[in-house]
Structure 1
Amino acid sequence: MGRAEARRARQRGGARRASARSQSEGIRPRGARRAARSRGGIRRFFTWKRVLGTLFGLCLLTMGGFIALYLLVPVPDANAQAEQQSNVYKYSDGTVITRTGEINREIVGLDRVPKDVQETFVAAENKSFYKDQGVDFKGTARGVLNTLTGKGKQGGSTITQQYVKNYYLNQDQTVTRKLKELVISLKVDRQKSKDEILAGYINTSYYGRGAYGIQAAAQAYYGIDADKLNVSQGAYLAALLQAPSQYDWTAASDDSKKLVTARWNYVLDNMVEEGWLDQGKRAGLKFEKPDRPKAEAGKAGQAGYLVDAADDQIVRELVKRGDTREDAIAKVKAGGWTVTLNVQPKKQKSLEQAVKKQLGEKLDSKERKVDAAVQAGAVSVDPKSGKVVALYGGEDYAKHYLSNATRRDYQPGSTFKPVILAAALENGAKTQDGQTIRAGTIYDGTSGRPVKGGEKAYAPPNEGKKDYGPISVQKGMDNSVNSVFAQMGADVGMDKVAQTASDLGMQKITTDPAMTLGSMGSSPMDMAGVYSTLDNHGKKVTPSILKTAEHKDREEIEPESIGDQVIKRETADSVTSVLQGVVNDGTGSVVNDGKYAGKYEAAGKTGTSDNNVSAWFAGYTPEMVTVVGMFGEAPEGGGDLKRPDKTPAGTGDHVSLAGAGGDGKIHGSGFPSRIWAAYTLGALNGGSDAQFDLDTDMGAGVAPTPTPTRTQTPTTPPATEKPTTEPPTTEPPTTQPPTTTAPPTTQPPTGDPTGDPTGPEEPTPSFSIPENPQRPGRH
C-alpha cells in the first residue's frame, strides 16, 4: 500500500468514528439538519391556532355571504303557473260539468279541507312543520352536495320549502335555485302563518291525473269536493305527492301498490305518534282505493254551450259592476272561478234525449242533403225564478261551436204575434173602427189584404195564401193568421209594439211593419224570456243560466232574474189565456194530442219564418217555459244547397228547411212542437196537475170563443160569402151563471179596403171566469 492510500484509509476510519461519536452524542449530519429544518417550518405554518382561525374566518365569510344573500334576495311574486287555475262549472246539484283552462286547479282555503286531512300532509312530509323555522339546513346541504356531485334529485325539504319551490320558483335542480329556496323559505316562514303556508302547499302541489291542488285531486281520484274527504282518502292523496304517477292505484304495478300502501300506513302512524289520530280509530281505517280516472269532459257535447252561456253572463255581470267588456273577458279567462249553473241534470238529459229522438234520429244527410243543414236550439226556464233549467245548443260543441240557443240571426216568425196582442191590451188599443181590441174582436182574415192606417203600405199573405174572412183575434192566433196581426200592429202603433217587445226583453226592435210577422232576429233564450214574463203574470223575467260565480279575489256573483212589472197582470194573463187556444185547437195542438193529451195545462205559439228558414215552438206550463228553434244553416262548403234568393249557399248561409227529416215543408207545428212535448212530459215526470192562475175574462183558457146569435146577425151580409159560425175552442163553462155580465157590442170587421163588411158581425162580450174552468181531454 502506498503512502497516499494509507492516508485515505486513516481518513475514512476517522470519519466513521466521528459519525458514530456524533450519533451517540445526538449530533445529526448536515443533510439531516436541513431536512429537519424543512419539516419544522411546515409544522409551524399549520398550527392548530392557524387552522382554527382559518375555519372561523370561513364561517364568518359564509355567514356574511348568507346575510348578504338574505338581504338581497326578495320574496318574488308568484310564478305564472302557480296562480293559474281552471274555471270549474257545475250543475245546480253541484256535480261537475267540466273544467276549462290549461291548469286543472281550483284553489280552496283550509276552511274547506277537514282538519284531519290537513294533518295527513304534515304527517307525510314534515312532522315538525308547526315547530320549525321553515327550513331543513341538513336536508338542503345534502341536496346541494348531491346536485354538485351529479347524484340528482334529493328530498328532505320542509313543507315551507316545497311550497316556495312550487309557488315562487320552479322545479329546476340547480344550486342557485336551492339557495334561493332556502332564503325565501326563511322569509316566508316569518311573513306568513303556518296555515297560509300549508294551504299554499296543498293547493300548488301536483297529484297526478292532471290535477293541481287538493280540490282537483279530490275530484280526480274520488269524485268529491275537498271538504268531503275523510282521513283515509286524505292519507292517500298525501302519499301520492311522493310519486304521483307511480302511486296512482289504477295504473300502479304490484310493487308500486305495496309502496303506496306502506306510505299510506306511514302517514297514519305518524298522525298517531303526533297525537292527531286516535289509535283505536287508526286501527279501524281501511285503505280506500281511488276511482278509475275519467276522460276529461272538456267542452264536447253540450258542455261547451253551457260554459259559453255562463261565461257570457259573468262578463255581463262584471260590466254592470264597472268593468269594460275587455277587462271582464280577461278576468273570466284568467281562471279561478267556481261557476254553478241553474241547469238541472235531469231536465238537461230530458231535453237532449227529446231532440235526439224527435229530430236527430229522423235526419239522414246521405238521403236528403238538406238534413245536413238542420240546426236545433232550445232553452227551458222556470218562470217563477228565471232559472235556465236546461239548454240545448246543438248536436255537439266540438262540431258546431256556435250555440243555437243564444244566436240571434234567425227570425222568430209568428212566435212574435203574442207580443203584438200584449201591446194592444196593454195600451188599450182600438181597431180602425174604434173597437177596443180583445180576444173576441173581429178582424178581416183575407190573405194579402192591405193594412189600414199604417205608415207604410203592407199587405202580407197568410200561410198558403188562405183566406179566413171575418175571424176573431182568438181564432187568428189559433191559426196564426198574418193579415190579422199585421193590421193589429198598425192599430196599436208600431212604436208601442216595439216598446212592449223591448219591455219583455227582445233585442233590436224596429218599427217596420214586417216586424209584425217576426222579421227581426231573436234567439230561443230571448223568446224564453218573453214567454216567461207572460207566464209570470207580466213581471219581467231575464233567463239566467248562472246560479253563482265565486272567485277568491272577487265578490260573488249571484244574478237577480226577476225584475219589475213590465206589463199589467191582466195583459199577461189574457195573452196566456189566448195562447191556450193555440195548443187546444190551433197550430200547436200536437203538444196536446195523443199521449200528451191531459198530461199538463199548456199555452204556446208556433212560428215559421220566410222561406222556411226557421221554425219555432214557444210554449209553457204553469211551471216551465220552453222555446225550441229549428234553423237552416248550410254545412261546410254549402252542401250544394241554395239560399232563399236561389243562389248557391256558402258555409253558414241561411237555407230553407223544406224537406228536412222527410217532413215536407217545415212548420213550428212539426219537429219543434214534437221536441217541446217530449221534453216537457219528461221534465214534468210524466205530467202535472198544475193549472194557470189567470186574472182575465177573455181568451180560450177561461171562456169559449163567442159565436153569433140570431139577434146578432149582420144587417148587410156579404153577397159572395155565406156567414159562418165558429165553434168554441174549449168546453163551455159550467151552468153556473157568470158573476158579472155585460151587454154585447156589435163590431164590424176592419179589414176590407172599401169599408164594407165582409162577414158577419160578432159580439165582443165581457166574460166572467168560470169557477172551475176545464179544457178538453183533461182528466
Structure 2
Amino acid sequence: MIPRMLRAKARARAARLRVDYPRRGRGGVRRFLPSWRQVLGLALLCCGALAALVGYVYSTVRITDVNATARTEATVYYWADGSQMVSVGAVNRQNVPLSDIPVSLQNAVIATENAGFYTDPGFSVRGLARAVSNMAQGEEIQGGSTITQQYVKNTYLTQEQTLDRKLRELCLAVKLSRNLSKQDILQGYFNTSWFGRNAYGVQAAAVAYYGIDAKELDPARGALLAALLKGGDLYDPSVSEAHHRRAVARWRYVLDRQVELGFMSPQERAKYTVFPEPRPRSASLSTSLSGQIGYLVDVANKYIERRTGLTAEDLGRGGYRVRTTFDRALVEQLERTVEDVTARSPEAGEDLQVGAASVRPDDGAVLAVYGGPDATEHFANNADTSGVPVGSAFRPFVLAAAVRDGGDPEDVEDGDARDVEPGAVRDVAVGAGLLPQSMAPLDRSFTSGTSTPSAVRMADAYATFANGGRHTDLYAVTAISHQGKPLEGLERPGERQVLDGEVADEVVEQMRDVAVNALDPGALRTVGPVAAGRTDAGDGLPAAWFVGATEEMSTAVTVFRAEPGKDGLLPLTGGEDLPLGVWSSYMTTIQ
C-alpha cells in the first residue's frame, strides 16, 4: 500500500512539473495558444538566461592597457607575385590631454554624438533596445552607441557587427564608466577616433585638416572636425563638390545643435557663417601612396569593403595583410605609356585626365590601372570613376542585344539601333559587367552611349565578348588576413554564361573591323586577334575611349577634361586620338 501511495505522489509531482503544452482540455487552435502563466514563465526564463549571459561576459571581460591595445601594425599590400607593394604606415595618432582640446570642440562632439554623455551609465538604453530589435529581425547588430561605447570599440574591439561584439562592448562600457572618470573617457575618445585622411585622434586631425595643433582650433574649425566623426571618408570637403556640400550641411548642424542644447548662444552662433575650408588633402597623405600605388590601394580597399564588410576606418587601423591581383610590370608599363603618349601630344594640358585599366578575361582579375598622375595630388581614381560618357564604345552591347534577339548586325553597324529595345541593351551591358547605377535613362539616346561606366568596368565587359560570352565578376584581392588570421568573404568569383557563344563570336567579328580600321598592321600582328570599340568624332561627347580585348587581356582607356575638385566635365578640345595611342603602344609593348 505504501509503495503504491509513493508512486501516486511521484506521478502527481511529475504532472505538476510537466509543461502543459499543447494544453489539455482545449480544442482546435486554442490548444496551441500558451496561457499567460506560460508566457510569463518563458519571459522570466529568457530574462534570467540573458542576465546570466551578461553577468558571465561582464565578469570575464578585462580592461587591458589602453596604449598597448591601441598600438597596431601597418597594413601591408602585396603584388600578385607575392612581393610587397606598399606598407601603409602605423596608425597616425598623437595623444593629447583633455586640457589641450578646446571646450568648444568638446561641446560640439558631445552635442552631436552623445548629448547625455555626462549622465548616462556608459550605454544608451534606447540604443541597446534598437540593437536587440535588429538582432531579432536578423539585421545588423547596430544601435545608437554612446561616446563610451565608441571609445571601447575604437580601443579594445573590432568594428564587426555581431551580438558577441556588441555584448562585450556594452559590458566594457559599463566597467569603464565605473573605473574611469567622464573626463578620462572623453580624452580617450578624442585620441582614438578616426577623422579621415588617415588621422586617428584629434591632434592628428587638426594637423591633417588645418596644419595646427588641436589646442588652436576655434569653434568653427572644431565644428568641422566634429562633423567628420560621422564619416571621415564621406565628409572631407576637399574630395569633391558632393563631399563639400555634405560637409557644409553637417558643419551647420553641429553648430545649430550646440545652440539647441545650450552649449552655444545664438549670438555666438551668428559669428560662424563662413565655412572654414581645410588645407589641401595632399598635405596629409603618405608619400608611400604616391604614383599609382594609392589608386591600386583604393581599388583593393573598395573590393575588400564590398566583399567583407570592413570599412576604410577598419583597414586604416592596420594589422592587415592583403594579397592583390595587380601585376607590377603591367602597372609600371601602363604608367610609362600614358606619360610618354601624353607628353608627345600637343593637346595635353593640366586639365586633361587619363584613366585606364587592364583585366584578365578568363577570370576577371584586375591586372593594372592608371588612375591619374599621382594619387597624393590627384585623388579621384580616373580608372574607377563615374560620370564619363562612353559614347559609341557602347555599340557592342547594342550589337549583342540585336544579334541575340534576331536582329541584323549590319543595321547596327550602319548606325541604325532604332529596332533594338533599350531595356535589352541595358540587360546585356549589366550582364557583361557594367554597374546598373552607371546606366543612363532608357530613352531614345540610351543606345548612343550616354551611360557612364568606369574604365575598369568597360575592360571587364569587353572581356566577356573575348571570353565567348562567359563573364566572371571583377576581383582585385585574392586573400586577406588580420594579425595572422585569414578572413572570409574573398572566395574567387564564379564564371557564368551571360551570352550565347555564337552571339559573342558574332559581336567579336564585327568589333574586329574597328581594330582593323584603327590600328596599324604592325600593331595587329603583335597583339593578335582583337575585338575593339571606340568613340567616334561625331559623338559630340566630352570624352574619348578606346577599348580592346584579346583572349589574354582586355584594356580600356578613356580621356576627358576636368577641373580638379569640381564635378562635371569640360569640353574635350583635342586629345580624341590619345586613347587609341595609349592602348596601341601599351598592348604592343607588353607582348
TM-score tier after normalising by the smaller chain length: 0.5 to 0.7
Amino acid of the residue matched to residue 445 of structure 2? A
Provide the identity percentage. 29
Report the alpha carbon displacement of residue 353 of structure 1 after superposing the two structures with TM: 1.2
In the alignment, is residue 568 of structure 1 matched against residue 481 of structure 2? Answer: no
| Shift, 1:557, TM fit | 4.6
CA distance in 1, matches of 2:527, 2:369: 23
Output one character per residue of 1:91-141: Cα deviation in whole Å (capped at 9) or x when no partner.
11122221224349xxxxxxxxxxxxxxxxxxxxxxxxxxxxxxxxxxxxx
Greater helix proportion: 2
Judged with a 3 Å threshold, the aligned counterparts in structure 2 of structure 1 residues 360 and 635 are, in CA distance, closer, same or farther, namely farther
Partners of 2:459 and 2:549 within 8 A in 1: no
Asked if 1:616 corresponds to 2:531, the answer is no
What does residue 547 of structure 1 align with?
478
CA distance in 2, matches of 1:81, 1:361: 53
Equivalent of residue 88 in structure 1, options 76, 79, 82 = 76
Shift of 1:81: 5.7
Tell me the CA shift for residue 377 of structure 1: 0.7
**2:91–2:316 contact (8 Å) kept in structure 1:** no
Match of 1:307 in 2: 297
**Which residue number in structure 2 is paired with residue 318 of structure 1?**
308
Tell me the CA shift for residue 351 of structure 1. Answer: 0.8
Looking at structure 2, the residues matched to 318 and 395 of structure 1 have their Cα atoms a distance apart, in angstroms, of 30
Q: Is the 8 A contact 1:612 1:658 kept in 2?
A: no
Confirm whether residue 671 of structure 1 aligns to residue 578 of structure 2: yes
**1:355 paired residue among 324, 331, 338:** 338
Q: Residue 82 of structure 1: CA displacement?
A: 5.1
Matched, 1:657 2:576: no
**3-state SS of paired residue (2:81):** coil
Q: Which residue pairs with 1:520 in the alignment?
A: 451
Counterpart CA distance in 2 for 1:652 and 1:76 is 47
Cα 1:539–1:399, aligned 2, differ >3 Å: closer, same or farther? same
- Structure 2 Cα separation of the partners of residues 598 and 95 of structure 1: 29
Correspondence list, 1:729-768, <5 A: none
Structure 1 unaligned regions, length at least 5: 1-73, 105-166, 169-295, 320-326, 431-436, 444-472, 637-650, 661-665, 685-779
Instruction: Verify: 1:607 aligned to 2:514, yes or no.
Output: no
Equivalent positions of 1:206-605 (< 5 A) are 297-319=287-309, 328-362=311-345, 371-428=349-406, 430=407, 437=408, 439=409, 441=410, 443=411, 473=412, 476=413, 481=414, 483-485=415-417, 487=418, 491-507=419-435, 508=437, 509=439, 510-552=441-483, 553=485, 555-584=487-516, 586=517, 589-590=518-519, 592-594=520-522, 597=525, 599-605=527-533
Name the aligned partner's letter for residue 376 of structure 1: V
Q: Measure how far apart 1:654 and its partner are.
A: 0.8
Name the CA distance, whole Å, in 1 between partners of 2:87 and 2:306. 21
Distance in 1 of aligned mates of 2:496 and 2:85: 33
Question: How far is 1:608 from its partner?
Answer: 4.9
Contact 1:596 1:677 in 2 (8 A): no
Q: Partner of 2:349: helix, strand, or coil? A: helix
Query: Following the alignment from structure 2 to structure 1, what is the Cα–Cα distance between the partners of residues 376 and 561?
Result: 19
In the TM superposition, what is the alpha-carbon distance from 1:628 to its structure 2 partner?
0.5
Q: Within 5 Å, which residues of 2 pair with 1:144-159?
A: none
Aligned CA distance change for structure 1 residues 398 and 330 (closer, same or farther; 3 Å): closer
Q: What is the distance in 1 between the residues matched to 2:449 and 2:472?
A: 21
User: What SS does structure 2 have at the residue aligned with 1:394?
Assistant: coil
CA distance in 1, matches of 2:331, 2:448: 31
CA deviation after TM superposition for structure 1 residue 341, in Å? 1.3
Q: Report the structure number with the largest CA radius of gyration.
A: 1
> Which deviations, in whole Å up to 9, do the C-alpha atoms of 1:581-618 show, x marking residues without a partner?
1111x3xx22x434554552212011258544110001
Offset, 1:302: 0.4
Structure 1: which amino acid aligns with 2:81?
D
Q: Are residues 1:627 and 2:556 paired?
A: yes
Q: CA offset at residue 564 of structure 1? A: 1.4
Q: Which amino acid aligns with 2:459?
A: A
- Residue 380 of structure 2: SS of its match in structure 1? coil
